[in-house]
Amino acid sequence: MTAQAAPAGEAAEPGPVPRLDHLGAPSGEPGWTLAEHGFDPARAGYRETVFTVGNGRLGTRGSLEEGHLGALSGTYLAGVYDAHDSPVVDLVNCPDWLDTEVWVHGVRLDVDSAEVVEHERVLDLRTGLLHRSTTFADRDGRRTRVRSLRLASVADRDLAGLRVEVTPLGHDADVVVVSGVDAHRRNLERLPLYPDGLDLAPQQRWDKWARSTHLDVRGVGFHGDGTGWADVRTIERDVRVAYAFTVTTAPQPERATDQVGAERAGRRCEFRAAAGEAVTVDKLVGVATSRDPGVSGDPGERARATVTGRTFDDAVRASTAAWGEQWRDADIEITGHAKDALALRFGAYHLQIAANPDDPTVSIGAKSLSGEGYRGHVFWDSEILLLPFYLFTHPEAARSLLRYRHHTLPGARALSESYGTRGARYAWEAADTGLEECPRWTPDGKDRFWTREEELHVTADVAHAVGEYVAVTGDEAFLLDAGAGILFETARYWVSRLDERPGGRLGLDDVMGPDEFHSHVADNAFTNRMVARNLTDAVAVHERLSRTAPERLAVIVAELGVDDDEVAGWADTAARIVDPVVRPDGVVEQFTGYFDRLDVPIESWDENDMPRYPAGYHHFNCEPTMLLKQPDVLMLMYLLPDEYDEAARRANFEFYEERTLHKSSLSPSIHAIIGLQVGDPSMAVRYFERSGYVDLDDNQGNTADGMHIAAAAGTWQIAVHGFGGMRVLGGRPTFAPQLPERWERLRFTVRWRGDAIRVDLGHDASTFTLDAAPGTSLTIVVDGAEVTLRAGEPVTVPAGR
Ligand code: IFM
């Protein structure tokens, strides 16, 4: 999917913050707001994505409430997938709770049928509130201002709300506001095949797409107490989704009626408003589904209970307070460079609205809940790019991501069985069941993806994440609940999947490493090493639990049918996996025969400083070359730092960097960090921009499809693990700060085993404060030297001691 490219840097302009003084102004603090000035149809899809509001349970795109030609509105509920009418499962575009019409003097106000005199929106990252102010003029020149405020509550993830305020300016008016829920929804399905070079207006962008229907609308209407409702069922998965909504107004309308269509219900409120007099319509929406874990009861009744007795103001207050709590640990602050600072906060905002710590049955799709790109499917992105952000800022959310992999173990087992192997094989693209959801072909049917069959490494990546989680949180109980099951079942898978090599060694044929330009390869270094680590981690955890929790371990192994011989077999298998070929200069061969491929130089870069394909090459014909889509050996060195020293990292960085095209938004961050580790800070700033500005500036032209959420997390990793030099080494948090010149300070929090380290890094000195119960102490390592922190006592360490 593609969208028109945006003018670089536009969203990041700090610019004047509009004075949206109703309903609580946006904070207006520099670095905390994302603003839109004027309505531009060509940028509307991009805005819809970046202005998404959410809470991990639902995400609602930043579409204008009244809709417009070319809009792609969407509310997505984590875990609500359906495969009816589509070749692979979709994250369902659920009923639209924004649905609002505003009529003044009988004229409908929207950007297509009225003139837009002024239009401003501000997303307040601190509060998660999206503020809007639009002044329309009708054909007779009469102006009316429409303002709105919306939220997806973080205090109660079943609750969302919208306030719309209409003010006739300089004229008395009959004002009608219809506010409700539209359950008539479709997912984008297949790109139309347009002749090459056809340039469509943005209003027509989605016009001819095939759409898929996932919802059977069981009914919409109003209860006797005036609460509206919409009740839908996903056709293939049979998940019930219920909405309930209340509409309240100020002042009382002259007349209020319920409008009930086949798939849409709304309250129609008619006012007589004097010039300059505002009418306000509040809508609170409760959402419940039949798949919500840990709750019982009719979804319709639960949704209704969510809105009963609630007011919009209370919802705003509670959610704002909850955001304040979240930001305490999630904030990442840069002083000295406004755009970099905004890039990090914007990313941290989107990462927070993507995760739900309370739902262990869902993970985060490649576009979070902000769009339909990749159909909401879950990739290795979750464990490798996203997890560290949550691990160090919100470990409860990290735990949920991993619990999702445990929850979907039955699907992973079934997937393994379908390939004739044992244990659990995680899907390259997963959704609600853990079964494989990755398409085989490009949407036009021309090119074959091999990721589904061959990107096996995701299984080892999940296992790796289990170890990371336990190391950082110290949550050993997680191993008993879920982690051991994941490790044992994945270890078992590898034993049955590995291929024989001469001399009793083992390897893997027909795989694809993270670099998706090369399929059907043998002994991809990344995959082989990660598999070996998966096996040895399983053995280590088995050994540890046999000492610390033998009775619980006995239950786990009995359930899985694992015995001591099998565990010994994992250790033996790990030791027999072939090591990658390493050249005398230390460069690791990405897979067998890689060094014999054509060495095609990268010679040009686009306006966003991203490498262009060399002439004649594209995504599907780089196989015979040494060109990389994204880091592979470097990713290995990033994930397993104890296996490769600095000299190895440097040699491989120098070799692979100049052959990497970064055709994945996951790519630049890893290059930035490894570059910093081997002493190349100049390149790191360049890579920071490539990663951090990808959605802020829409520099890949496809932000309209949803956020590149892994890039947001990768950008956070550049700041914390790269410039902050924060790593867990020898079981301790270590820091080796090297800030770019254009930053003055970098501040963030690292959650560590239930406590928090507040980190404030500078060029000359850095300060660390342990936020923990009085009397607690913790030893960290800064620039190679031990530093002991005591709760509440800041310690300042001069740079480069
Ligand atoms: O998981 C990634 C993959 O590494 C590159 N293509 C996009 C996927 C989803 O982000």
Q: Please give the pLDDT value at position 26.
A: 62
Separation of alpha carbons 85 and 70, rounded Å: 23
How many other β-carbons are positioned within 10 Å of the β-carbon of residue 587?
19
CA-nearest residue for atom 4, ligand 1, is 514
Q: CA–CA distance from 747 to each of 438, 515, 756, 759 (Å)?
A: 39, 33, 13, 5
Cis status of the peptide bond prior to 774, with omega within 30 of 0: no
How far is the centre of ligand 1, averaged over its atoms, from the C-alpha of 440 (Å)? 15
How far is the centre of ligand 1, averaged over its atoms, from the C-alpha of 379 (Å)? 7
Report the run of H or E that residue 350 belongs to, with start and end.
helix 338-354
Strand ranges across the sheet with 745-752 = 332-335, 745-752, 755-762, 765-771, 795-798
3-state SS record for 381-418: HHHHHHHHHHHHHCHHHHHHHHHHHHHCHHHHHHHHHH
Q: Candidates 91, 378, 381, 386: which one to mutate for ligand 1, based on the most atoms within 8 Å of Cβ?
A: 381
Separation of alpha carbons 518 and 629, rounded Å: 9
Three-class secondary structure of residue 295 per DSSP: coil
Listed residue (281, 354, 315) closest to 53, CA to CA: 354
Looking only at the bridges linking them, the beta strands covering 332-335 and 745-752 are antiparallel
How far is the centre of ligand 1, averaged over its atoms, from the C-alpha of 634 (Å)? 16
How many other β-carbons are positioned within 10 Å of the β-carbon of residue 442?
13
How far is the centre of ligand 1, averaged over its atoms, from the C-alpha of 228 (Å)? 40
**188 alpha-carbon distance from chain centroid:** 20
Q: Please give the pLDDT value at position 264.
A: 98
Q: Please give the pLDDT value at position 353.
A: 98
Ligand 1 atom at shortest distance from the alpha carbon of 708: 10
Q: Please give the pLDDT value at position 25.
A: 53
Q: Please give the pLDDT value at position 18.
A: 35
Yes or no: say if 349 and 686 are a contact pair by the CB < 8 Å rule.
Answer: no
16 CB contacts (<8 Å, ≥6 apart)? none
CA-nearest residue for atom 7, ligand 1, is 664
Q: What are phi and psi of 365, to 5 degrees?
A: -75, 165
Q: Please give the pLDDT value at position 20.
A: 37
Report the run of H or E that residue 532 belongs to, with start and end.
helix 525-548
How far is the centre of ligand 1, averaged over its atoms, from the C-alpha of 584 (Å)? 32
Q: Please give the pLDDT value at position 445.
A: 84
Q: Please give the pLDDT value at position 14.
A: 34
How far is the centre of ligand 1, averaged over its atoms, from the C-alpha of 675 (Å)? 21
How far is the centre of ligand 1, averaged over its atoms, from the C-alpha of 513 (Å)? 12
Separation of alpha carbons 43 and 11, rounded Å: 10
How far is the centre of ligand 1, averaged over its atoms, from the C-alpha of 728 (Å)? 26
Q: Name the DSSP class of 174.
A: E
How far is the centre of ligand 1, averaged over its atoms, from the C-alpha of 374 (Å)? 9
* Active-site residue list: 516
CA-nearest residue for atom 3, ligand 1, is 664
Where residue 374 falls (left for φ over 0; alpha for ψ -120 to 50; beta otherwise) is left
Q: Candidates 515, 628, 666, 667: which one to mutate for ligand 1, based on the most atoms within 8 Å of Cβ?
A: 666
How many other β-carbons are positioned within 10 Å of the β-carbon of residue 292?
21
Ligand 1 atom at shortest distance from the alpha carbon of 629: 5
How far is the centre of ligand 1, averaged over its atoms, from the C-alpha of 653 (Å)? 21
- Block means of pLDDT (10 residues each) for the chain, 801 residues, are 33 36 57 94 97 98 97 98 95 98 97 96 95 96 97 98 97 98 96 81 87 97 98 98 98 98 98 97 98 96 98 95 98 97 97 98 98 98 98 98 98 98 98 97 87 98 98 97 98 98 98 98 98 98 98 98 98 98 98 98 92 96 98 98 95 98 96 94 92 95 96 98 96 96 97 98 98 98 98 95 62
Three-class secondary structure of residue 241 per DSSP: strand
- Tell me how many degrees the CA angle 576-523-518 measures, rounded to the nearest 5: 165
Separation of alpha carbons 499 and 197, rounded Å: 47
Q: What are phi and psi of 169, to 5 degrees?
A: -105, 110
Q: Candidates 516, 629, 663, 700: which one to mutate for ligand 1, based on the most atoms within 8 Å of Cβ?
A: 516
CA-nearest residue for atom 10, ligand 1, is 366
Ligand 1 atom at shortest distance from the alpha carbon of 664: 5
Q: CA–CA distance from 408 to each of 91, 360, 458, 496, 710 (Å)?
A: 17, 10, 14, 20, 21
CA-nearest residue for atom 9, ligand 1, is 366
Which tokens is 265 given?
A: 């219900």
198 CB contacts (<8 Å, ≥6 apart)? none
CA-nearest residue for atom 6, ligand 1, is 664
Report the run of H or E that residue 785 belongs to, with start and end.
strand 785-790
How far is the centre of ligand 1, averaged over its atoms, from the C-alpha of 784 (Å)? 35
Three-class secondary structure of residue 152 per DSSP: strand
Which residues line the pocket of ligand 1, CB cutoff 6 A? 366, 374, 379-381, 514, 516, 664, 666, 710
Separation of alpha carbons 188 and 373, rounded Å: 9
Yes or no: say if 537 and 467 are a contact pair by the CB < 8 Å rule.
Answer: yes
